[in-house]
Amino acid sequence: MPGFELFGDLERKEVNDVLDNGVLMRYGFDGMRNGHWKAKELETELQNAFKISHVQLVSSGTAAVTVALASAGVGAGDEVIMPTFTFVASFEAIMMLGAIPILVDIDDTLTLDPKAVEAAITQKTKAVMVVQMCGSMGNMNALQEICTKNNLLFIEDACQAIGGTYEGKPLGSIADLGCFSFDFVKTITCGEGGAVITNDSEYYKHADHFSDHGHDHIGSDRGAETHPFLGYNFRISELHAAVGLAQVKRLPEFIGIQKKNYTILRDALSQIPEVTFRRVPEGGEESYSFLNFFLPDLEVARKVSEVFKTNGIDVCWNYFDNNWHYVRKWHHLKDAKSLYPLSSEIKNELAKLNTKDFSQSDHFIGRNISCLIKLSWTEEEVKRRAQLMIDSIKSIL
């Protein structure tokens, strides 16, 4: 991760197809296309890759989450349970629909703690959204059982975990709806883009219409299409889809490189008794896009993070003080700093975040170091990096 490290002739060929016919929009202009429909082709490739019935491409991973929630009827006043450790897009997508984000603790998988989810359910709860952060997954069976028992929608944000599996199923394909991001730093990239995937034909139809101003996409005359319900513009372009079409065909290649580099680093760090690793639920296999490990406490993790920087070990983070990915520094959310009025229900819930106890999440995020696995490293570079990481950690311990 990310796929942009290995751009090549295949990506150039797909993009040039679009530039040669001049149609950059995914809908319409049939006569000019010379048979090129990159978005449709990418959707088919993703259907095959994720063993799923339906795929709807959209403009981003954030759009994917919004479209997925809207497609299943989540809206004003509905509560959506989400983790404390994620990207800010998670609560942005929920609030865009007027729904209420309910943040709960993570466990040692670095994803939703099923016990915390169960404790947070109220009469207003409509959905549970697991975020497969940093290449791995939560306890999907336990979360699915909770959703089934309580008649809740189960949403899977697999934006950072494309290529991972759980009990043989691709991540993203397990819940009612799955979401992917293909932005510039994901394992496969479109530059900007995302996808909603599902086996539910009704959710798919809703996603298809909602993401294109409510167009029903019936017939061959776009101007004559009707609008069964309100929609918005979350379309992907043909240029972006063309890049993704080349990249998705290379996904097995990318995952293979990630696994090789990840394994070298993990095997090396396993020599240090004080280092432990994030828990991958039984039956799960990571996408190997990140290596996540725990140190004895927050103080040690902070010092290791700093010495990594000093020693030139890049793309490694301790997220405890991060203002993009962890609840502690989401001051704009906690203080409801919005350009437009928010509902009283949303504001009341956000105000609780200033005093809510997330000590369990602090325990895991505070001790965690997360290292991006790059595709462009040579084996020699990975081994040299591994030794430098060992030396750096031991210098603090």
State pLDDT tens for residues 365-391. Answer: 999 999 999 999 999 999 999 999 999
Give per-residue pLDDT as tens, 113-171. 999 999 999 999 999 999 999 999 999 999 999 999 999 999 999 999 999 999 999 99
- Please compute the mean of the pLDDT values over residues 192-199 and round it to a whole number: 98
- Please compute the mean of the pLDDT values over residues 339-346 and round it to a whole number: 97
Element (H, E) at 352: helix 344-352
- Please compute the mean of the pLDDT values over residues 180-207 and round it to a whole number: 97
Confidence label for 249 from pLDDT (cuts 50, 70 and 90): very high
Which two structure tokens, joined as six digits, stand for 192? Answer: 């900007």
Q: Residue 1 pLDDT > 90, yes or no?
A: no
How many helical (H) and strand (E) elements, i.e. helices and strands, does the chain have?
Answer: 14, 14
Backbone angles phi, psi at 263, to 5 degrees: -65, -40
Return the pLDDT at 94.
98
Evaluate whether 106 touches 85 at the Cβ level (below 8 Å). Answer: yes
Return the pLDDT at 199.
98
Strand-pairing partners, residue 286, are none
Distance CA 185, CA 246 (A): 16
Domain 252-396 CATH (choose: 1.20.1250.20, 3.90.1150.10, 3.40.640.10, 3.40.50.2300) = 3.90.1150.10
- Please compute the mean of the pLDDT values over residues 169-197 and round it to a whole number: 97
Return the pLDDT at 293.
98
Q: What is the pTM of this model?
A: 0.97
Give per-residue pLDDT as tens, 231-241. 999 999 999 99
Q: Residue 211 pLDDT > 90, yes or no?
A: yes
Q: Residue 251 pLDDT > 90, yes or no?
A: yes
Evaluate whether 272 touches 387 at the Cβ level (below 8 Å). Answer: no
Return the pLDDT at 287.
98
The DSSP code sequence of 102-155 is: EEE-B-TTSSB-HHHHHHH--TTEEEEEEE-GGG----HHHHHHHHHHTT-EEE
Give per-residue pLDDT as tens, 277-286. 999 999 999 9
CA-nearest of 121, 126, 120 to 98 is 126
Domain boundary assignment for the chain: 3-250, 252-396
Distance CA 97, CA 214 (A): 16
Give per-residue pLDDT as tens, 58-91. 999 999 999 999 999 999 999 999 999 999 999 9
Q: Fold match between 3-250 and 252-396?
A: no
Element (H, E) at 369: strand 368-372
Q: Calculate helix-pair angle for 9-21, 38-49, nearest 10 degrees.
A: 140
| Amino acid type, 124 | K
CA-nearest of 128, 131, 133 to 117 is 128
Percent of the chain with pLDDT over 90: 99
Confidence label for 242 from pLDDT (cuts 50, 70 and 90): very high
**Class of domain 3-250 as given by CATH:** alpha beta
Mean pLDDT over each residue of the chain, to the nearest integer? 97
Return the pLDDT at 276.
98
Percent of the chain with pLDDT over 70: 100
Return the pLDDT at 174.
98
